[in-house]
Amino acid sequence: MTDTRTALGPLERAGDIWVVGDSGRSDGSWLEFRAEGLYRRASDGDGELIPWSRIMLGIGVYIGRGHPRTGQYTLAGMLGNLPGPFRGRGGGHLDMTLRHPYEDRKLTFDRHARPYPLLDTFLLEELLSQIVAADETPRLGDPDGLTRAVGRLTQLSPRMTRRRLSAAVEEAWRGSST
C-alpha cells in the first residue's frame, strides 16, 4: 500500500481511496473518489453517488463556505490556515456542472486542521479541471494512478509560472497511468 499521508490541499489518501475533506470526523462531510464515481458523504449520514460520466466543464475548488471567487484569499480561507481557534474550522466545496440532467452543483466538505498551501489548492483545481476537460474522469477513481500524479505535483515549486504549472499538472496525470 502507498503512503496514506500524501495530500494535495484538501485532497488526501485515506486507506484505499482518495477523499476531499476531513474524513476522520465522524460527524463531518467529505467527498470520496471511488471507481464508480464521486461519492458525497454528508454530515447527517446521507450519501450520494455522482457517476464520473455526469461531471463536465471542469471542477472549481473553494476553501470557505458560500461561493467565494478567490478561494484561499477569502477571510475564511486565510483564517483556517492560521494557528488559533479558527484552525480546522469551516470547510470548502467543489463547484461543478453535471449533465443528464444539466445542473450546477456545490459539494461541500469539512476542512482539516492542517493548513492548505495556496499552491496545493491551485494544483488540485488544475488537476481536476484538466482531467474533466479531457473526458478522463474515471481516472480520478484509480487510487494508485492518483497517488502517482499527486506525488509528482507535491514536488513542484511555487516559483513556476502558471503556464509551466499547468503543463506539469498535465504531464503528471497523463503519466500516472503507467
Expressed in angstroms, the distance from the first to the final Cα of the chain is 17
By the 8 A CB rule, do 86 and 129 touch?
A: no
Look at residue 2 in the predicted model and tell me its pLDDT: 38
Question: What is the reported pLDDT for 86?
Answer: 62
What is d(CA 28, CA 126) in angstroms, rounded to the nearest whole number? 25
pLDDT, one tens digit for every residue, the chain (178 residues)? 334 458 999 999 999 999 999 998 888 899 999 999 999 998 777 899 999 999 998 898 888 765 555 555 556 656 666 666 566 667 888 999 999 899 999 999 988 888 888 889 899 999 999 999 999 999 999 999 999 999 999 999 989 999 999 999 999 999 877 5
How far is the C-alpha of 28 from the C-alpha of 143, rounded, in Å?
A: 22
- Read off the DSSP letter of residue 160: S
pLDDT value, residue 1? 35
pLDDT at position 175: 87
Neighbour-count burial for 50-74, b at 16+ CB within 10 Å, e otherwise = bebebbbebbbbbbbeeebeebbeb
Task: With residue 106 as reference, give the H or E element that holds it.
Answer: strand 103-110
Q: Can you give the pLDDT at residue 73?
A: 52
Cell numbers linked to 75? 477571510
Give the model's pLDDT for residue 97. 94
Instruction: Give the number of residues written for the chain.
Output: 178
CB atoms closer than 10 angstroms to residue 160: 13
Q: What is the pLDDT of residue 144?
A: 95
**What pLDDT does 115 receive?**
84
